[in-house]
Structure 1
Amino acid sequence: MAERLNGKVAVVTGAANGIGQGCARLFAAEGAQVIGVDRAECDLLDEAAVEALFARIGAEHGRIDILLNAAAFAIFEWIEAMRYADWRTTLSGELDIVFLATRAAWPWLKASGRGSVINFASANARHALEGSPALAHCAGKGGVLAMTRQLAMEGAPHGIRANSIAPGFIRTAATDRHLAADPAFAAKVLGKNMIQRLGEPEDIGWCAVWLASDEARYVTGADIAVDAGATAW
């Protein structure tokens, strides 16, 4: 089903690598006009810069139909060692970065009449991350999950759908470093997976394509686990 996103304008944050890059490539392959945004183009925590960026994108392309918020960053530390500054940095990198881009895109998504916002929650929005100092990260992803549901309610009268994807372990440049540093890590991940392989960015990208397409026109406020069944048992 080629060109499932034909005629749509998609903005993808965090598009330079990892899941964001995988989603951007599939969006383009399915016919979307993709505008990739990453730190090199814009500081997504600079309110004025984000507003200016989306105003420029909207003016140049005449519309924004899809916003995929893949950009995020977090500091992992146990509560006893975590500085308040690191806590605030993580919540900014998980929550503010989604809020600012979504608010800036909102008028264009409304004008589209068929807007789709796709955010990234995590299993860690619902479960503790066993053996990992992920307190701030879990709080941030829980916030994304709640924010997405609220956006779905606020967007519904304007034809805007808002959904989140909760990825399992996905191989990226960042996670490959963990695999290289700890040979037992892959086995630990696979021990939780029903499907016995590690995920790739495209595994998330195909879900994002569906959520962005008119095939998902009746889907909003949903959180979809794409995690090889890791959270299903």
Structure 2
Amino acid sequence: MADRLKNRIAVVTGAANGIGQGVARLFREEGATVIGVDRSDTDEACDLTDEAQTQALFARIGAAHGRIDVLVNAAAFAVFAWLEDLSYADWKTTLTGELDIVYLATRAAWPWLKQGGTSSVINFASANARHALEGSPALAHCAGKGGVLAMTRQLAMEGAPHGIRANTIAPGFIKTAATARHLAADPDFERQVLAKNMLKRLGEPEDIAWAACWLASEEARYVTGADIAIDAGATAW
């Protein structure tokens, strides 16, 4: 169906690559006005871990459009290391890149989401918020994504009186430029991922984008506080 998001104002963070880029592309194809945000190579350049920059960014967007209908918090970064090799600095960097980046953008967008009346916040948890993957040194990442999962449930409660829905998508392993590094670093890693998957393939950004499109649309008007696993069945065992 075309124009599922017609007349919707959507802000997509992390829009320069990976899942965010896939979501921004599909949203535009479905009729949304999309403001892509990243550090570079998109509509708006912003360091979303900087409170002042983030507040100013959303103030500009809100003033230009009068509201925000959809916020997709796809921007994230993490340090992957085993516990004994994970410095406290890298732990804090990951929690900033997984949790703070979502909190700051959502807080800055909140007054404009309230103006939308039927708004949608889409955050990204992970299969790693629910299970450990053998061979993956993802301690800080698991903690960060578990935090996003819990935070989004609270946002659903706080947003409900204002018509703001908040949900998470929990992707399994998705092929992006960032995850390609993990595959290159460990030739056996893909086998370990596929061993967990019921569907024996790796995911693509568009597999996630279609779910985000549904959550952003009025088709999902009765859905809030939900976590949607898109992981080839990896967490359903």
**Fold match by TM threshold 0.5:** yes
Matching residue's letter, 1:32: A
| Corresponding residue of 2:153 | 149
Deviation at 1:117, TM superposition (A): 0.2
TM-score (norm. length: structure 2): 0.95
3-state secondary structure, aligned to 1:80: helix
- On the 8 A contact 2:134/2:192 being kept in 1, the answer is no
Aligned to 2:85, the other structure's residue is in SS state coil
Change (3 A) 1:43 1:12: same
Give the letter aligned to residue 184 of structure 1: D
- After TM superposition, the structure 1 = structure 2 runs for residues 13-162 of structure 1, keeping only pairs within 5 Å, are 13-40=13-40, 41-162=45-166
Determine helix, strand or coil for the equivalent of 2:71. strand
Deviations 1:164-200 (A, max 9, x none): 0000111111222333343333222222111122110
Partners of 1:169 and 1:232 in 2: CA distance = 15
Mark the runs of 5 or more structure 1 residues left unpaired by the alignment: none
- CA separation in 2, counterparts of 1:143 and 1:22? 24
State the SS of the aligned residue for 1:132.
coil
Unaligned runs of 5+ in 2: none
Give 1:139 deviation, angstroms.
Answer: 0.7
Structure 1 equivalent of residue 12 of structure 2: 12
More deviation, 163-172/189-198: 189-198
What is the Cα deviation at residue 77 of structure 1? Answer: 1.7
**Aligned partner (choices 148, 171, 182) of residue 167 of structure 1:** 171
Which residue identity does 1:14 align to in structure 2? G
Q: TM-score, normalised by structure 1?
A: 0.97
RMSD of the alignment, in Å? 1.1
Query: What percentage of aligned pairs have identical amino acids?
Result: 80
